[in-house]
Structures are given as structure tokens and as C-alpha cells.
Structure 1
Amino acid sequence: MKIGLFTAGLVLASACFNAQAATQASQVTAKASSSYAKTKYPIVFVHGMAGFIRVGTDQFGLDYWYQILPDLARNGANVWATRVSPFNSTEIRGEQLRHQVEEIAAITGAKKVNLIGHSHGGPTIRYVARTRSDLVASLTAVGATNKGSPVSDLILTIRDIAPVLETPVTSVVNVLSKTITWAQGLDPNSFPHDSLASANSLSVQGSAKFAQQYPLGMPTTACGEGAYKAKYDGNEIYNYSFTGVGTVTNLLDIDSVLKATSLLIDGGRDNDGLVPRCSAKFGKTIRDNYNWNHLDEVNQVLGLKNIFAPDPVDVYRQHANRLKLQGL
């Protein structure tokens, strides 16, 4: 049987990753003081591009989901953080996540999980919903690149104009990807790294192509809502999303640099600095106009944000309660 080069690469990368899959998912624990966030199924978080679980040491480290997961654990949630390639295609990241979801289900004995993905994590969880719909109770996309990011398109356009830059730039970003892996105390070669594949997946065209194969929860109009409940292979999955539309939300926060990238998207309007509001729409919209930028959506950097905006920690806790009340 003949298979394409991409499929062969996907299988090979998946097999290499699966050999070390047991080291990639991490349960976050804390002494529970309430059952407010105690969902029926585990809540599994998936980071975006250039993401991680935790970099640094226990004493001087930085969590991607800053303060969010411990808070959920204190409120009764069975919560897990997953780790996929910082830079790679949605399909490769999706295969990595699928292995971890299967592992979490085996460890916990849970029949399903609730998946929450930020940024590139949004399409990544959609991949798992299609390939293992029997293991997915719900999908929540946060500031997700469901319809791509014009910033990625600009990068690819520059590459096309000056192809001589492709090799050095991709090499540098691949080194960054390996460095992020190393900073988590892992072998940098425990993941495949491909920054060009990441850029293609996050482009508007690449995202549209992915949506044709993985349409669950995607809006059918330019900026509408997708299906709140949808079925794959007879398995019903609930779909949610929320996002921000802020850029400079705290002058003391280094993520104010997202103001520059926001100008590349509709002249700086209606986006979180990297992702347009309409691109983040998926399933039932919880809210699409938080005064957060792309990093505020995961309570970064170090919780700095607009003091008048909702606290992301509270929003995630409330969403866990929403899943609980839905019987998920």
C-alpha cells in the first residue's frame, strides 16, 4: 500500500513521540477546598505555539497556564497539562496530543476528557476530537487560530519574496523550539520541530484546508457561532470558545509588544494581538471581547493585565463549573 510523504512523516513522528509519551502529560494537584470545578471527566489543557507546561525549576519556573490549573485543582477538578511540539503542524501536534489523551484516560479510568486549547491548541484539540471522538466530552478553544492568523500569512509572504531567508529563519526558530523543550527538563529531540510546518498550519489558507477535514464546531458564516453540540461517529461533543480583543492591557507587562503585531490584523482592530476575533469563534461563544491580549488569555505574563478586566483564573474556574453543570 502506498502512502504519501506527509502521511509517512506523520506516522514516523508519531511513533517517535509515542515512545516517550509517558513523560509528556502532567497532572496538576492541590488540596481541594471545594467541588465547584469538579467535572465528571478530567480537564486536559493544550498549549499553543511556542508553548510548554513549565519552564525553569520548581523554585524559579514559569507555568504556561499561570495560576489557572492549581486553582482548578483546589476547586475539585482532575486537571492535566499536556506538552506537544512548540512548533509543528496541527496534525503532528494532534497525534502527540492523542497519545496523551489515551494515556490520561488509561491512568484515570475516565471514559472521556474535556479538552481546552489555547491558540494553536485550538485546532490541535479539534484533531483529537475527530480521530478519537469516543474519548472527548467537550472542546473549548481559547484565542484559537481556527481560521488562521494574518501574522503567519505575512511571515510566509516574506519567505516567498525573499526565499533566501527560509533556511536561516526556520533553523533559528527550530532551535528556539528545542530550547523550549530543553527548558522543561526534556531531551530536545523528544519532539519533532518544524517551524515552517507550524507557519503553514497557522496561515489562513492552511487553517481553511484543515477545517475542511475537521469541521466539527466550526462556524458556517464569516464570524458566527459553530455547532454547540456535534457528533463524530455517533459521539456527541460539546463545543465552546472565548477570546480577547485587547492589545496593551497593562503598561508594565512586556506582552504590550503585541500592539505591534495587532496592527498587521485589520489595522489593529478586533484582535488580541495575534488572532482575529472571528478566527477564534468556535462552537458556543462564551464571550469574544474580553479586554485581554493573546497572553492575558492564559494569565500571562505573571498575571499582569488590565485591572478592570475579568481575572482569567476566575473565568476558567467558572467554565469548569459550566462543564460540571452540563454533566461533563
Structure 2
Amino acid sequence: MKKNKKMVLAASALAIGLSAQPASAGWFDWLFGKSTDTYTATKHPIVLVHGLSGFNKLFGIVEYFNGVPDALTESGAEVFVPQVSAANSTEVRGEQLLAQIEEYMAVTGAEKVHLIGHSHGGPTIRYVAGVRPDLIASVSSVGGVNWGTPVADAFNTGALDNLGNWFFGLLDTFSGGGGLPQDTGAAIASLSTEGSLQFNERFSAGIPSTYCGNDGAEVVDGVRYYSWGGNKISTNFWDVSDPLLKALEPLFDEPTDGLVPACSMKLGKVLGVDYGHNHLDQVNMLFGLVGRNAADPVELYRQQANRLKNLGL
């Protein structure tokens, strides 16, 4: 098994600190020192990119992609979890991510990487693939805001900017972001319907020809595009995020995960946007509390890694 290394790379040109996500070894590795499980052993490393209000690890303990890095690493993948601004425009976040990917590739010798982005991480990784397709093997958008969301439309007034910048600055501080710039207004504008459509005009790879269409190109400039997500708000009685997302339901007139319309998630080859997940379930938060009959969120990441592995990527 390739052991995922914990590393802190030198500050990039954008003064962004980079720390690779540590993944603990499984019991087999603890006993015998290696694993025979290669289910997720992709040729290229996998990069997991967080969305709005996201982080790498909060307080050094709470993972944004809860349990996903270890699950991928334990069956052969090399995994990297960068941190970009919790709130900023897609372009700013994309440049931050690109700088970290270039640093990471320089250190490891990797030729390309696979990008998996959740929520605002979807457009963020699309930006990187658009400006540097030579570095990217695949783009997988999970609950991605690819056509905008009514939530951003409703709050695109500037009223929350100061409070948001303070809050997202705290997240950055407590997750070791190193003082990344926060711009709530720019983030909301990027995630709005208008902002998303403008972004799609410049970065159209994988985007369906019509809203909710299924004809997004699977391969563009040598990069493979995929998407998946959920269409349910209330998923588990014990999940405290459910009532918070439920409060936003009046903003929608179509299936949604509570923050993003299912149709907005579609990009490239659509693996499914009808999983019984809400927006946080898609990254296995909170505490892995998903619906009884819902797909295991972590297993969906493993399946995607295996899909890429079987393509020789």
C-alpha cells in the first residue's frame, strides 16, 4: 500500500500553506505492514477539494471529507487534501488550488492528478482543469454548484459579507489555513445563478447543453468529467443539519439536497444525482449520519476511484 504522507510544503507564490491529509493505516497494515487491497489504487493521486465554509481538518480532528481520505488510502490511493479559502470567488479559490497542486506535483513527481470537489469545490476544480488541463486526469463534481443555487441568489445582497468574513476567518484560523483571504460576497456571487452562468461561458467543459440535461461531454481536452449528488433534505432523525437545511426548502421548486438543486449538480457523465443524501451527507457529515436506505457516501468515493483505476488512470 502506498502510505499517504503528511507533509507541509513551502509557501507557494500565493503564500498558501499546503498540508497533505494524513490517513491512518488499517488493521491489516498495522499487523503486516502492507495491504493487498488495491481497489482504489489509481495511477494518479486523488485531490479532495472542499466547498464553501470548508477546511482540511478543523481543530486538527474534524475532517471535511469525513473518513474518505483514509478509506481511499487504505485500498491503494495516494490522497491529497488541500485547503483553499473557505469563502471567495471560484477564480481565487481555483488559483489557490492550482498553486498547491503544482507544489505537490513538484515534490511527488506525479504527472497528473484526479480532482474531486464538493459543492463550491465543483466549480473550483473545473477552473483548474480549464486553465491547466495538462495537469488533470479527471474532474468529479459532488453536489457541485454548476448552474447556481437559489440560496446564493437569495443572499446575494451583501448583507452578510462582514459577518461571513469574520466567521470564515475563524474557520481558517482553527483549521490551519494560514490566513487565507475570505470574501463572502465574492463567494455568493460565484455561486449565484447569474455568476454560475457567466462562469459556464468561460469554462464549459462537461456542462450539459440545457439545464438538467444529461449530454455533458465526458472527455474534454483529455480530462474526464463526472458528477454525482443527492436530492433529499431530511435524511436522519439525529442529524442536526437536517432542520437547518429544511428551513431553506421554501427557496426551491425542484429536487434538492437542501443547498443545491439536483439538476445544478449535473456535469459530464452523471453517475446519479438522486442518492438519498443531503448536502452534508455527500461528504459523510455530520458523523456519518445518513438515511437508513441511502448509499454509503464513502463507498461512492471508493467506487469512483475504482472506476478511474479501471480506465488506467
Taking structure 2 as the reference length, the TM-score comes to 0.90
CA contact (8 A) 1:28 1:73 kept: no
More helix, by proportion: 1
Matched with 1:272 is 257
State the distance in 2 between where 1:42 and 1:325 align. Answer: 14
State the distance in 1 between where 2:136 and 2:223 align. Answer: 7
Matched with 1:237 is 223
Matched with 1:281 is 266
Deviations 1:117-151 (A, max 9, x none): 00000000011001111100000000000001111
Matched with 1:47 is 50
State the 1:263 CA deviation: 2.5
Residue 91, structure 1, aligned to residue 91, structure 2: yes
Matched with 1:5 is none
Residue 227, structure 1, aligned to residue 217, structure 2: yes
CA contact (8 A) 1:262 1:272 kept: no
State the 1:110 CA deviation: 1.1
State the 1:229 CA deviation: 0.8
Between 95-104 and 291-300, report the one with greater CA deviation: 95-104
Matched with 1:254 is 240
Opposite residue 245 of structure 1, the aligned amino acid is N
Matched with 2:297 is 312
Cα distance change of structure 1 residues 28 and 223 upon mapping to structure 2, 3 Å threshold? same
State the distance in 1 between where 2:14 and 2:264 align. Answer: 34
State the distance in 1 between where 2:261 and 2:290 align. Answer: 19
State the distance in 2 between where 1:292 and 1:18 align. Answer: 38
State the 1:19 CA deviation: 4.6
State the distance in 1 between where 2:271 and 2:13 align. Answer: 34
Deviations 1:135-185 (A, max 9, x none): 0000000000000111100112xx2xxxxxx36x31110001110011113
CA contact (8 A) 1:17 1:191 kept: no
State the 1:20 CA deviation: 3.0
Residue 26, structure 1, aligned to residue 20, structure 2: yes
Taking structure 1 as the reference length, the TM-score comes to 0.86
Question: How many residue pairs get matched?
Answer: 292
State the 1:17 CA deviation: 6.6
Opposite residue 26 of structure 1, the aligned amino acid is A
Opposite residue 275 of structure 1, the aligned amino acid is V
Opposite residue 89 of structure 1, the aligned amino acid is S
State the distance in 1 between where 2:23 and 2:234 align. Answer: 33
Opposite residue 208 of structure 1, the aligned amino acid is L
Opposite residue 251 of structure 1, the aligned amino acid is F
State the 1:222 CA deviation: 1.7
The answer for unaligned runs of 5 or more in structure 2 is 1-10, 26-33
Alignment of 1:130-279 (within 5 A): 130-156=130-156, 159=157, 166=158, 169-187=160-178, 190-225=179-214, 226-231=216-221, 236-256=222-242, 257-266=244-253, 269-279=254-264
State the distance in 2 between where 1:104 and 1:150 align. Answer: 36
Alignment of 1:289-300 (within 5 A): 289-300=274-285
Matched with 2:31 is none
Matched with 1:3 is none
Matched with 1:56 is 59
State the 1:26 CA deviation: 1.4
Between 130-139 and 25-34, report the one with greater CA deviation: 25-34
State the 1:186 CA deviation: 4.2
CA contact (8 A) 1:113 1:137 kept: yes
CA contact (8 A) 2:284 2:298 kept: yes
State the 1:101 CA deviation: 1.1
Alignment of 1:101-140 (within 5 A): 101-140=101-140
The CA RMSD over aligned residues, in Å, is: 1.4
CA contact (8 A) 1:55 1:183 kept: yes
**Percent of aligned pairs with the same residue?**
43
Hey, which bits of structure 1, 4+ residues long, moved more than 4 A? none
CA contact (8 A) 1:174 1:193 kept: yes
State the 1:327 CA deviation: 1.2
Opposite residue 193 of structure 1, the aligned amino acid is Q
State the distance in 1 between where 2:235 and 2:140 align. Answer: 24
State the distance in 1 between where 2:21 and 2:277 align. Answer: 27
